[in-house]
Amino acid sequence: MEKKEMLYEGKAKKVYSTEDPNYLIVSYKDDATAFNGQKKGQITGKGIVNNTMSNIIFGMLEERGIPTHFVEQISETDTLVRAVKILPLEVIIRNVAAGSFSKRYGVPEGSELAKTVLEFSYKNDELGDPLINDDHILALELATVEELDTVRGYAFMINDALREFFLTKGLKLIDFKIEFGKCLVGDDDDEAGDIILADEISPDTCRLWDVKTGEKMDKDRFRRDLGNVEETYQEVMARMKK
């Protein structure tokens, strides 16, 4: 299938319609933003890395029974996906304290957590993606009880699968963000209304620390000006392919 019309341009991806309304093409960009768009830049090659890595991971998750929007890779930066209605929630899983969790609760980055944490943010740039709880989500009718149960179940399954997968690549999964969508219509695998994993899983959306050196191998290199940004994205992609 081919790109028809650009429907949406986000911070890191563009979304195009195709001749079939049930399928979209996402095109990954090299643009990088941080701190809700306040810091802007380019990471050369990031579009290729994030497209390649996301597709490898979504394929692995599908094999483990987690439904995703992935259909097929079209080019180095472009992928055909199922069209879904994205739930306006960022689902964050934390295995180790870092980032906003460390700041908010005053725990040093790298502290092990007594329990894996699932957190929701309300996807809303104007409000700065505020932290939100289950009651808030139901009160605002952002999702139903059943949908929340499904999302929670998938999120922990995805965490188990990712942790194991990244460890085989010498990477420790500190935390990550995922997004889910609702299928518009049914197909061979899903019915209309089913919740499936959408968006991406990449160094932009995960914190990954090298198992041996503890080095940060993710977007924190860009956010915090740690240097070797491009090289690190390439290294992560190379490990994914091994």
Candidates 60-68, 74-82, 95-103, 190-198; binding stretch for ligand UDP (CB under 6 A): 95-103
Four-CA torsion 222, 225, 228, 231, nearest 10 degrees: 0
43 binds ligand UDP (CB under 6 A): no
Among 205, 209, 221, 236, binds ligand UDP (CB under 6 A): 205
Question: In the set 13, 14, 207, 221, which binds ligand UDP (CB under 6 A)?
Answer: 207
Indicate the DSSP class of residue 211.
T
Rounded to the nearest whole angstrom, what is the least distance from the CB of residue 178 to ligand UDP in the complex?
9
Binder of ligand UDP out of 84, 92, 195, 197 (CB under 6 A): 92
**Cα–Cα dist 32/41, whole Å:** 5
The whole-angstrom distance between residue 70's C-alpha and the CA centroid of its chain comes to: 13
Diameter of the chain measured on Cα atoms: 51
CA distances (Å), origin 177, targets 16, 159, 205, 206, 228: 23, 10, 5, 7, 23
Residues 85, 104: Cα–Cα separation, whole Å: 31
By CB under 6 A, how many residues form the interface with ligand UDP? Answer: 15
Question: Which lies closer to ligand UDP via its Cβ, residue 70 or residue 209?
Answer: 209
CB nearer to ligand UDP: pick between 21 and 128? 128
Verify binding: residue 45, ligand UDP, rule CB under 6 A.
no
Q: Does residue 100 bind ligand UDP (CB under 6 A)?
A: yes
Alpha helices in the chain (DSSP H): 46-63, 99-105, 134-139, 145-167, 220-223, 229-241
Binding flag, residue 175, ligand UDP (CB under 6 A): yes
Would you count residue 41 as binding ligand UDP (CB under 6 A)?
no
Q: Would you count residue 221 as binding ligand UDP (CB under 6 A)?
A: no
**Residue 24, strand partner residues:** 17, 81
Instruction: Name residues whose C-beta falls within 8 Å of residue 157's C-beta, 6 or more positions apart in sequence.
Output: 64, 65, 66
Q: Which of 30, 78, 129, 147 binds ligand UDP (CB under 6 A)?
A: 129
- Least separation, in Å, of the C-beta of 4 and ligand UDP? 28
CB of 34 to ligand UDP, least distance (A): 7
Among positions 23, 58, 70, 101, the unique one binding ligand UDP when judged by CB under 6 A:
101
3-state secondary structure of 56: helix
Helix pair angle (145-167, 46-63), 10° resolution: 110
In whole angstroms, how close is the CB of 135 to ligand UDP at the nearest point?
Answer: 20
Residues that bind ligand UDP (CB under 6 A): 90, 92, 98-101, 129, 175-177, 204-207, 219
